[in-house]
Homo-oligomer: A and B are copies of this chain.
Amino acid sequence: MISLDDVRAAARRLRDRIHRTPVVTCRSFDEATGYSVFFKCENLQRAGSFKIRGALNKLLTLSEIERQRGVAAFSSGNHAQGVALAARTVGTSAVIVMPTDAARLKLAATRGYGAEVVFYDRQTEDREAIARRLAGESGRLLVPPYDDPAIISGQGTVALELFEDVPVLDALLTPVGGGGLMAGCSTVAKGLDPATRVFGVEAEAANDTWLSLQKGERVAIPPPSTIADGIRNLSPGELTFPILQQNLEGILLVSDEEIMEALRFLLFRAKLLVEPTGAVAAAALLAGKLPLGRGARVGVVLSGGNVDPGTLAGVIREASPLPQRGRGLR
């Protein structure tokens, strides 16, 4: 368990090392949903997602010996970039274990931050075992993606900033993958105002936390297929799950079609590029899944914006016949 004070300490540590991301409102989104929605724009965060918060908070607590040995992580996505940038920021080295078929943009970004990338075959090798072996051999500290108090506290600073800008919220929604973001944010929401109702959002196909909350214990699912690649976890974390159990009103589930619709709405109406995972909480609102009355004040974490051009082009193409018409007008 972590406390509000842990998150406050993380915020002091992170200050001036990360962006204080803006909170944006969009009247057409409010009109479409009937809520008063405040978007916390972690898609505008350094390295493109909230992940830098937890990673940097963790790395800022390294001892001098640990810093000299460096860190390691396994991730094909935003955690890779977060750890790579955090390592550069604190002046240590990072080795990131990524699948051979990782998106080239993410690979390039991770290397761009100065990290060394070690590949593994997604079909035949176990990335966690590789990273552990690698960490063991070299003495590097393994930076876990969510199941770590320093990571959870760092992610919680998202909600701390949001509540500083918007002190009263009836509800707070974030995506839920391993649960690090939500464990931190829900600790802040409940700590600052216990009346805040906190909802996690998962993709229908990746409903491990929804199932786990139903059953009252951590449940594992087979590898899910969803466009929301940041929350394809098989089960909630050991540390994060009890926190979610305690703080969450429940989990809302959204389909890939609803996620893509939300991505397009945020792009063309709010002018924000959000990755599919980052759009799930907005999708829950647009699809009418939040069980609150009209006019409620809702905080929504747009968790990241790292989407590759091919995926984005695909999402835009599926958007009604408008692209066809538009092309002729160019």
Binding site for B on A (CB under 8 A): 19, 22, 24-25, 27, 43-44, 46, 48, 101, 103-105, 227, 264, 267-268, 270-274, 305, 307-314, 316-317, 319, 322-330
Chain B residues within an 8 Å CB radius of A48:
271
CB distance from A20 to the nearest CB of B (A): 10
Is the CB–CB distance between B44 and A27 below 8 Å?
no
| Copies of this chain, count | 2
A105-B322, A310-B326 are known contacts. Are A22 and B19 too (CB-CB below 8 A)? no
Chain B residues within an 8 Å CB radius of A268:
105, 273, 307, 309
Is the CB–CB distance between A103 and B308 below 8 Å?
no
A316 touches which of B27, B44, B305, B312 (Cβ 8 Å): B312
Q: Which residue of B lies closest to A227 (CB)?
A: B330
Secondary structure of the A contact surface, majority rule: helix
Chain B residues within an 8 Å CB radius of A324:
310
Is the CB–CB distance between B271 and A43 below 8 Å?
yes
Chain B residues within an 8 Å CB radius of A322:
104-105, 308-310
A327 touches which of B27, B43, B313 (Cβ 8 Å): B313
Chain B residues within an 8 Å CB radius of A227:
330
Chain B residues within an 8 Å CB radius of A316:
309, 312-313, 316
CB distance from A87 to the nearest CB of B (A): 16
CB distance from A83 to the nearest CB of B (A): 17
Q: Which residue of B lies closest to A264 (CB)?
A: B309
Chain B residues within an 8 Å CB radius of A271:
43-44, 48, 272-274, 305
Is the CB–CB distance between A323 and B330 below 8 Å?
no
Closest 9 CB pairs of A and B: A310-B326, A271-B305, A308-B326, A22-B22, A310-B327, A271-B273, A310-B323, A309-B323, A43-B271
Chain B residues within an 8 Å CB radius of A104:
322, 325-326
A–B complex contacts, Cβ < 8 Å, 14 sampled: A19-B25, A22-B22, A103-B329, A105-B326, A227-B330, A268-B307, A272-B273, A308-B326, A309-B322, A310-B325, A310-B330, A311-B326, A311-B329, A314-B330
